[in-house]
């Protein structure tokens, strides 16, 4: 089977790392099984991918994003992934008022693009893999696997960076991308159920939704040497002990309550706990939110305790995690929290949110807090900060829990998905297969 893949276009973040994991897994299966004849990587930046995966892409073709319609679709997906800023929200609202009602009337229906089909078929593609919710997936008319990592835009409409108050482009892409997919990939059992609850009534059947969880990126490791830690400590001028929170600056990441917890620990318990934040803020919304958090730190007089590192290169992340006293991630949104997996991979104790999805992911391998309560966060930080036995126990349980999120398991599960897809594509009558395929070359309704 000749496979094409369109990796996430934006370096950094969990979806980008999922794309890299998918590429590594395809390489492993290409070399160890008969499932994959070859892989074609459709990317606007082959150099960046080859830098991230210097050996994985050997012998594979990397194809520029052409024809032009493909390039424009990728750009649209990139804009949506990066996030919506103040100006973009204003534009959506203006269009809604101009048209007279929100929803699909604003965006129109997605139509099949024959030139995309011709482009993929030109490279002999039998199956496309989209490791994120790419807009072009249902438009190309080629059987495809569609990764849908969460349904946050429907489940958490209060966060405008996820739902954007009338931005139905996300819903349109995810709905049509799911119901026309050969297989939809979810990140967890709960994520799978969320997808079926949303799109089952549109014809998405349970046998077509499979679970393929995130795994920690390969650059993270537990065996960081003292000298490596010292280099990173000096580079960022880190304190001897600190809590660590790597996340982009968005309201749903909930830096607010963590900052308030640090203030309460100092003012009410007499404990000074430094914090180190890192994460990208390349768009207007995240830049504005970073500024809000810096102002909040100043209002609580925490300037000497809180560091904002911005984007941190991959080679420094293992030392940042393993030097931290704990990861604290009071996110409002699940179901999978990727920094938890990263912390487990680097022997860092975990505190995170007691919310749906996350509690199932973490089990007893982390302390769970109420993300709406800075008192709850402060109590958990106090307990881990002052109790070495608890820290050791959390590290041990995290290491055990991580065994369920191995790269080998990812490859095994992906192999099973590809075997089922291959059987369906090879069947003389696809409608008799367990997985029903959408009709090829037809317009997307």
Give the residue extent of every domain in the chain: 2-215+406-432, 226-404
Tell me the average confidence (pLDDT) per consecutive run of 10 residues in the chain, 445 residues long: 90 85 96 92 89 90 72 50 44 41 39 84 94 91 94 84 62 91 96 96 95 93 95 97 94 96 97 94 79 96 96 94 98 93 97 95 97 98 98 98 94 96 74 43 36
Chain center to CA of 100? 34
Q: Which CATH architecture has domain 226-404?
A: 3-Layer(aba) Sandwich (3.40)
Contact indicator for 364, 282 with CB cutoff of 8 Å: no
Tell me which CATH code domain 2-215+406-432 carries.
3.40.50.2000
Contact indicator for 42, 4 with CB cutoff of 8 Å: yes
Question: Please, which residues have CB within 8 angstroms of residue 378's CB and are 6 or more apart in sequence?
Answer: 261, 262, 264, 265, 268, 269
Per residue, the 3-state secondary structure of 259-295, as one string, reads HHHHHHHHHHHCCCCCEEEECCCCCHHHHHHHHHHHH
Instruction: Please name the residue that has the structure tokens 């790419």.
Output: 134
Confidence (pLDDT) at 393: 98
Write the Ramachandran bin of 397: left for phi over 0, alpha for psi from -120 to 50, otherwise beta.
Answer: alpha
Question: Please, which residues have CB within 8 angstroms of residue 387's CB and are 6 or more apart in sequence?
Answer: none
Confidence (pLDDT) at 383: 98
Burial 337-372 (b: 16+ CB within 10 A, else e): bbbbbbbbbbbbbbbbbebebbbebbeebbbbbbbe
Tell me the whole-structure pTM to 2 decimals.
0.84
By CB neighbour count within 10 A (0-12 exposed, 13-18 middle, 19+ buried), where does 194 fall?
A: buried
Confidence (pLDDT) at 332: 95
Confidence (pLDDT) at 94: 45
Contact indicator for 12, 394 with CB cutoff of 8 Å: no
Nearest to 302 by CA among 336, 265, 269, 340: 265
Beta bridge partners of 4: 40, 128
């Amino acid at each position: 089977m000749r496979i094409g893949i369109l990796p996430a276009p934006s370096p950094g973040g969990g979806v980008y790392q999922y794309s890299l994991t998918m590429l590594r897994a395809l390489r492993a299966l290409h070399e160890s099984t008969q499932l994959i004849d070859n892989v074609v990587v459709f990317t606007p930046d082959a150099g960046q991918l080859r830098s991230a995966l210097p050996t994985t892409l050997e012998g594979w073709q990397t194809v520029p994003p052409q024809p032009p319609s493909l390039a424009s679709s990728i750009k649209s997906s990139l804009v949506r992934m990066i996030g919506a800023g103040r100006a973009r929200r204003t534009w959506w609202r203006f269009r809604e008022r101009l048209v007279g009602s929100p929803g699909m009337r604003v965006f129109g229906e997605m139509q099949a693009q024959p030139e995309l089909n011709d482009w993929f078929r030109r490279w002999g593609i039998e199956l496309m893999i989209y490791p994120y919710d790419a807009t072009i997936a249902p438009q190309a008319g080629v059987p495809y696997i569609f990764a849908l990592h969460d349904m946050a835009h429907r489940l958490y409409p209060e966060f405008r960076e996820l739902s954007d108050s009338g931005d139905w482009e996300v819903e349109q892409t995810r709905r049509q991308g799911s119901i026309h997919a050969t297989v939809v990939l979810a990140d967890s059992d709960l994520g799978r159920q969320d997808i079926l609850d949303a799109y089952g009534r549109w014809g998405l059947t349970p046998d077509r939704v499979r679970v393929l969880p995130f795994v920690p990126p390969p650059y993270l490791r537990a065996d960081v040497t003292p000298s490596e830690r010292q280099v990173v400590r000096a580079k960022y001028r880190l304190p001897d002990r600190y809590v660590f929170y790597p996340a982009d600056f968005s309201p749903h990441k909930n830096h607010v309550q963590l900052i308030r917890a640090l203030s309460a620990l100092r003012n009410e318990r007499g404990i000074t706990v430094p914090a180190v934040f890192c994460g990208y803020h390349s768009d207007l919304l995240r830049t504005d939110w970073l500024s809000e958090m810096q102002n909040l730190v100043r209002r609580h007089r925490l300037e000497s305790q809180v560091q904002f590192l911005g984007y941190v290169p991959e080679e420094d992340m293992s030392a940042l995690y393993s030097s931290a006293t704990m990861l604290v991630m009071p996110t409002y949104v699940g179901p999978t929290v990727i920094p938890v997996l990263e912390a487990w991979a680097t022997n860092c104790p975990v505190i995170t949110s007691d919310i749906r999805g996350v509690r199932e992911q973490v089990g007893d391998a982390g302390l769970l807090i109420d993300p709406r309560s800075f008192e709850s966060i402060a109590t958990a930080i106090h307990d881990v900060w002052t109790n070495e036995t608890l820290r050791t126990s959390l590290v041990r349980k995290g290491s055990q829990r991580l065994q369920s999120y191995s790269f080998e398991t990812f490859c095994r599960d992906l192999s099973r998905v590809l075997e089922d897809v291959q059987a369906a594509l090879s069947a003389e009558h696809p409608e008799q297969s367990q997985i029903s395929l959408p009709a090829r070359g037809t317009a997307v309704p």
